[in-house]
Structure 1
Amino acid sequence: MNASTVKELATPLCALRLLATDFEHLPAPNVGVSTIFPGRLELSFHGDAEDLGGFAAFETWRQALGAEPHAVEFSVQSGGRTYVLSTYTEFAGASVRLVAYGPGPMASAGAEVAW
């Protein structure tokens, strides 16, 4: 069911407020709240080879929120140019999706990225 009012987004917005207070020292994520998934808060991390594509920030948040390591999914996008890590957890009544994007081995015209 799509949200039609801001009140219907209260759960993820309150979770975001608590995250900003409780985890102010953690790396800043991109934040998403959607009327399509009104109970979900998305924290995403983007980067390049120097910072492992935001994967380090993803792992820091995964640990802080207590998401199980075995629940992390790995996928590949854009013909091998982008690696993706994602998982879901709960925080303050909201479903929280953590997702990180980084360069895959095909990121720079076939050149391998050293991990």
Structure 2
Amino acid sequence: MTLDGLTVPLRALRLLAVDFPHLPAPDVDVSPIFPEWLRLSFHDTSGESLAAFEQWRTALRIAPEAVDSRTQSAGRTRVLKAEGQFAGAGIVLTAYADQPDVDRAPAGQAGGAR
């Protein structure tokens, strides 16, 4: 595949930058493995990534009920994920944030919810 094969998600990214310059900057992933998809992700430990996810979800008009909420890393990380469409590209939004109610014991020691 050539770069031309990624035209759809790259065009969507360009339009997102023009239409939503005021929104928080995501990590961006465009891949020849999934050439029709643009992935936007948000990572932090403070929970601000969840707020950024919601701002983007709202801007892209992805319904709240389309959001999948789960945890990973033995319940220590909250993950939000939603898919939608923008400018002909599939959009995947993902946010990762530390769970505030999980004891952060050092590696090798027991830890759990408070």
What TM-score, normalized by structure 1, do the two folds share?
Answer: 0.87
What pairs with 1:17-28 in structure 2 (closer than 5 Å)? 17-28=14-25
User: Which residue in 1 is equivalent to 2:88?
Assistant: 93
User: Runs of 5+ in structure 1 lacking a partner?
Assistant: none
- Unpaired segments ≥5 residues, structure 2: 106-110
Shift of residue 112, structure 1, vs aligned partner:
5.6
Contact 1:53 1:103 in 2 (8 A): no
How many residue pairs were aligned?
108
Greater per-residue strand proportion: 2
Query: Identical aligned pairs, as a percentage?
Result: 51
1:106 aligns with 2:102: yes
Match of 1:6 among 3, 20, 24: 3
**Structure 1 vs Structure 2 CA RMSD:** 1.6
Q: Which has the larger radius of gyration?
A: 2
Match for residue 30 of structure 2? Answer: 33
Relative to the length of structure 2, the TM-score reads 0.88
- The structure whose residues are more often helix, as a share, is 1
